[in-house]
Amino acid sequence: MSNTNARFHVPTAPFRPGETPDFSNLDLQKAGDAPRPDPGIDAGETASLATGLVGVLDHNHQAVGEWDPKLKADLLREGLSHMVLTRIYDERMLKLQRQGKMSFYMKSTGEEAVAVAAAMALDKSDMVFPSYRQQGILFARGRNIVDMMCHCISNSRDNLKGRQLPVHYTWAEGNFFTISGNLGTQFPQAVGYAMACAYKGEDQVAASWIGDGTTAEGDFHSALTLASTYRAPVILNVVNNQWAISTYQGIAKGDAPTFAAKGLGYGLASLRVDGNDFLAVYAATRWARERATAGKGATLIELFTYRAAAHSTSDDPSKYRPKNEETAWPLGDPIERLKQHLIGIGEWDEDRHEKLEEEMTKLVVKSYKDAESYGTLHDGPLAPTESIFEDVTETPDWRLRRQRQELGI
Amino acid sequence: MNMIQALNSAMDILLTQNPDVVMFGEDSGYFGGVFNATDKLQAKHGAHRVFDTPINEAAIAAMAIGMAAKGLKPVAEIQFSDYIFPAFDQIVSEMSRIRYRSAGQFTSGCVLRSPWGGGIRGGQTHSMSPEAFFTHIPGVKVAIPSNPYDAKGMLIAAAEGNDPVIFFEPKRIYNGPFDGVPDAPLKSWAKHPKGEVPEGHYRVELGKAEVTREGSACTVVTYGTLVHVAEHAAEKSGIDAEIIDLKSLSPYDIDTIAASVNKTGRAIVAHEAPRTSGFGAELAAQIQEDCFYALEAPVLRLTGWDTPYPHAHEWAYFPIQSRFIRAMEAVTKAV
């Protein structure tokens, strides 16, 4: 029987388990080739940037082209340090999850620059609306690691009182919005927040992150529409790490040239950026922030990167993609690239790097010991049981008071 | 004032007294809303405070959440409660839980106003009463006024509170009370005591019910348009029913309900929405639990049918006055 559904197209990932990944036909603009226009330009003039690739670090790890933010070595070392800490923290937390110390974990391996560089390019008063894979922001903003761990093991010091799954951080003091498990909801919320900043006449901006898969949600469309209509001072980041659990990015992107290109149709300035290039992410975020505070509106930034680790501790990527596909990824590793850049300009060396890693490992190990002293999910102590009835509304009503009694507390 | 004028007055006061109050919705700005509820507010307070939105209910709710996180007080409009469902995820998963999931670090106090209920030949998508979807969500309050005085006072109380409130407005009675007789001439609020609305600021606190007619034969617990239908049914039938206007559905006022049912021994819970898993099921269950030894008859549910809201046969669907009388007869005769 002939295939009667020949015209029904279902995209499929280019490489599957057992195959050899080969990204040589990915048409990526070379670092330094994208021009850096004035941040105040009309959105339509960003078309070539939305389909190209903003990059600063070339294959020799040299900073090239107009987007080079020309950052001081101290700041680059700080960025490197936050990224290294993020990776070491992730690896440690994965191990602890495997040992049964926490119920769940999600790494951000390979995507550290997307969070750290952007956070460093923002003002600390800017509100961030992250997804569950931008833990690097917390390190860049100086959150106490013990507090982060206490959240992940839901102990008595968890600032969320054990109410949320691990990695669903909230940190109001650091202007880090409460993470939700529902994908994409934060994207239009960030626009609303940014509108409120504009309403109040404040110079703050909001920034949000979603993944490539989440762009298929209606809230992606809602956010872009609102951002465009009200010219909101918001930075809308799409982290294209190529995978939404087992689903390759082409399922969400369809035949659009890039995710960034989707912003053009809304009249938003749109950039595609090398997400593994610390300098490029930093520069693009600065550009978008400048545009936002100048009253020119939002920018959609696609961060082109690769999810090097499993989706979560509940996922096994070997079932849907080749093993070691991340090593074939043409944009390399963000930590290695920044490290080599710093070495190249004489501001870093292997010994110092090794020391940094040792220091960070010690910090993480010690922090976990501290965290455990406040209890663990399995052995307690946890937040008081009666606290499950608090914060539903400002004041518990009679129903919750009765239910608490019913539970006998 | 009629209900629209009362709501408009409430919003005018909120905008005047609190610079953080903003209002928005589809056609809510320049045009003043398809029911005129926000009439002239943009001209008076400015387009940055009262503005039109794209047709996207999820975006409206999300915008309210984001603004509330920054300390604004959004009072947003969903044009018909039938169209609140695109915003359901933002309400259920976000608005209702932000205080809880952040352990109080962030809050999402805002009001979503929405014209609600049937009786206007609205067919399937301009007649719904979706309150039970929302009373099932911990973390959002649900309020439904039945008259201009309450509409104004409750809207002000909702907007001045710190919790998110879904505020449904019975559009059948925007311009006058309804006695539940489909072909009866329209009435105005002018002759109704609750049509007398103070010009200034006042609050009608959420969470409190009101006995609008005292009686001894049975208790009718209802809200919105049906409060008036129930009152007229009691007068017409001569059955001495006690009518409770619930006003707030979440949280609801169990004390007022229990006191009444413990007195009368008989209860009808009534709403326009379909019966199965409707809010009446919650009320009936709680009455049974709290008043079991006082009950002399099964709690009776008088509701819309378990069908989508029909157009041509609207009055066969809607709990009209004659159905109220039959229900009152049934519950008072039951042994």
The CATH number assigned to the domain holding B188 equals 3.40.50.970
Token pair listed for B244: 């409770």
In the set B45, B126, B232, B271, the catalytic residue is B126
* Structural domains in chain A (count): 2
Asked if residue A304 and residue A185 are part of one domain, the reply reads: yes
Asked if residue B40 and residue B182 are part of one domain, the reply reads: yes
Asked if residue A104 and residue A119 are part of one domain, the reply reads: yes
CATH number of the domain at B279, please. 3.40.50.920
Token pair listed for A115: 């969070």
List of chain B residues whose C-beta atoms are within 8 Å of the C-beta of residue A189? 62-63, 65-66, 69, 90, 94
> Has residue A32 been placed in a domain?
no
List of chain A residues whose C-beta atoms are within 8 Å of the C-beta of residue B72? 196, 199-200
Asked if residue A264 and residue A124 are part of one domain, the reply reads: yes
Strand partners, B242: B219
Instruction: List the single residue in A171, A178, A199 with the smallest CB-CB distance to B98.
Output: A178
Asked if residue B246 and residue B100 are part of one domain, the reply reads: no
Would you call B333 an interface residue with chain A, using a CB distance cutoff of 8 Å? no
Asked if residue A388 and residue A343 are part of one domain, the reply reads: no
Contact between chains at A218 and B58 (C-beta distance less than 8 A) = yes
> Has residue A15 been placed in a domain?
no
> Has residue B32 been placed in a domain?
yes
Tokens 């925007």, located at residue: B174
Asked if residue A78 and residue A159 are part of one domain, the reply reads: yes
Asked if residue A253 and residue A118 are part of one domain, the reply reads: yes
3-state SS track over B16-74: HHCCCEEEEECCCCCCCCCCCCCCCHHHHHCCCCEEECCCCHHHHHHHHHHHHHCCCEE
> Has residue B268 been placed in a domain?
yes
Whole-angstrom Cα distance, residue B79 to residue A290?
Answer: 36
In the set A307, A321, A337, A341, the catalytic residue is A307
> Has residue B202 been placed in a domain?
no
ipTM over 0.85: yes
pLDDT at A3: 56
Please give the C-alpha separations between residue A174 and each of A181, A182, B95, B231, in angstroms, as whole numbers: 20, 22, 21, 55
List of chain A residues whose C-beta atoms are within 8 Å of the C-beta of residue B102? 160, 170, 172, 178
List of chain B residues whose C-beta atoms are within 8 Å of the C-beta of residue A195? 63, 66-67
Residue type, B244: I
List of chain A residues whose C-beta atoms are within 8 Å of the C-beta of residue B56? 221-222, 225-226
| d(CA A25, nearest CA chain B) in Å | 39
> Has residue B175 been placed in a domain?
yes
> Has residue B201 been placed in a domain?
no
pLDDT at B45: 98
Q: How many CA atoms lie within 13 A of A254 on its CB side?
A: 5
CB pairs under 8 A between A and B: 139
CA-based radius of gyration for chain A: 22
| d(CA B54, nearest CA chain A) in Å | 8
Whole-angstrom Cα distance, residue A57 to residue A278?
Answer: 8
Instruction: List the single residue in A193, A223, A390 with the smallest CB-CB distance to B70.
Output: A193
In the set A320, A352, A353, A404, the catalytic residue is A320
The verdict on whether A163 is a catalytic residue reads: no
Q: What is the mean pLDDT, run by run of 10 residues, along chain A of 409 residues?
A: 73 96 93 98 98 98 98 98 98 96 96 98 98 98 98 98 98 98 98 98 97 98 98 98 97 97 98 98 98 98 97 96 94 98 98 98 98 96 97 98 96
Contact between chains at B101 and A194 (C-beta distance less than 8 A) = no
Asked if residue B135 and residue B27 are part of one domain, the reply reads: yes
> Has residue A189 been placed in a domain?
yes
pLDDT 10s digits, B88-146: 999 999 999 999 999 999 999 999 999 999 999 999 999 999 999 999 999 999 999 99
Token pair listed for A12: 């499929």
The backbone torsions φ and ψ at residue B70, rounded to the nearest 5 degrees and listed phi first, read -90, 0
Please give the C-alpha separations between residue A62 and each of A283, A331, A335, A340, in angstroms, as whole numbers: 15, 14, 14, 9
Containing structural domain, residue A282 = 44-378
- Candidates B100, B108, B279: best to mutate against A (most CBs of A within 10 A) is B100
The verdict on whether A307 is a catalytic residue reads: yes
Nearest chain B residue to A221, by CA: B59
Whole-angstrom Cα distance, residue A221 to residue B60?
Answer: 13
Better-scored residue on pLDDT, A401 or B335: A401
List of chain A residues whose C-beta atoms are within 8 Å of the C-beta of residue B70? 127, 192-193, 196-197, 200
Asked if residue B161 and residue B36 are part of one domain, the reply reads: yes
List of chain A residues whose C-beta atoms are within 8 Å of the C-beta of residue B22? 199
CATH number of the domain at A201, please. 3.40.50.970
The backbone torsions φ and ψ at residue A78, rounded to the nearest 5 degrees and listed phi first, read -65, -45
The backbone torsions φ and ψ at residue B303, rounded to the nearest 5 degrees and listed phi first, read -145, 175
Asked if residue B274 and residue B190 are part of one domain, the reply reads: no
Q: Which of A232, A130, A131 is nearest to A191 (CA)?
A: A232
Asked if residue B283 and residue B186 are part of one domain, the reply reads: no
Strand partners, B51: B24
Asked if residue B235 and residue B146 are part of one domain, the reply reads: no
> Has residue A133 been placed in a domain?
yes
Distance of CA B208 to the CA centre of its chain: 13
> Has residue B31 been placed in a domain?
yes
> Has residue A213 been placed in a domain?
yes
Nearest chain A residue to B63, by CA: A192
Whole-angstrom Cα distance, residue A40 to residue A368?
Answer: 46
| d(CA A390, nearest CA chain B) in Å | 7
Asked if residue B220 and residue B294 are part of one domain, the reply reads: yes
Asked if residue A198 and residue A217 are part of one domain, the reply reads: yes
Would you call B90 an interface residue with chain A, using a CB distance cutoff of 8 Å? yes
Asked if residue A304 and residue A394 are part of one domain, the reply reads: no
Asked if residue A394 and residue A294 are part of one domain, the reply reads: no
pLDDT at A1: 47
Asked if residue A150 and residue A283 are part of one domain, the reply reads: yes
Instruction: List the single residue in B22, B56, B102 with the smallest CB-CB distance to A170.
Output: B102
Containing structural domain, residue B176 = 3-195
* Structural domains in chain B (count): 2
Asked if residue A404 and residue A303 are part of one domain, the reply reads: no
| d(CA A142, nearest CA chain B) in Å | 18
> Has residue A19 been placed in a domain?
no
> Has residue B200 been placed in a domain?
no
Asked if residue B237 and residue B158 are part of one domain, the reply reads: no
> Has residue B117 been placed in a domain?
yes
Helices and strands (H and E) in chain B: how many: 12, 12
Q: Which of B160, B217, B129, B8 is nearest to A394 (CA)?
A: B160
Q: Which of B253, B189, B4, B274 is nearest to B113 (CA)?
A: B4
pLDDT 10s digits, B296-329: 999 999 999 999 999 999 999 999 999 999 999 9
> Has residue A21 been placed in a domain?
no
Asked if residue A231 and residue A92 are part of one domain, the reply reads: yes
The verdict on whether A311 is a catalytic residue reads: yes
Please give the C-alpha separations between residue A126 and each of A201, A208, A223, B23, B70, in angstroms, as whole numbers: 14, 11, 18, 24, 11
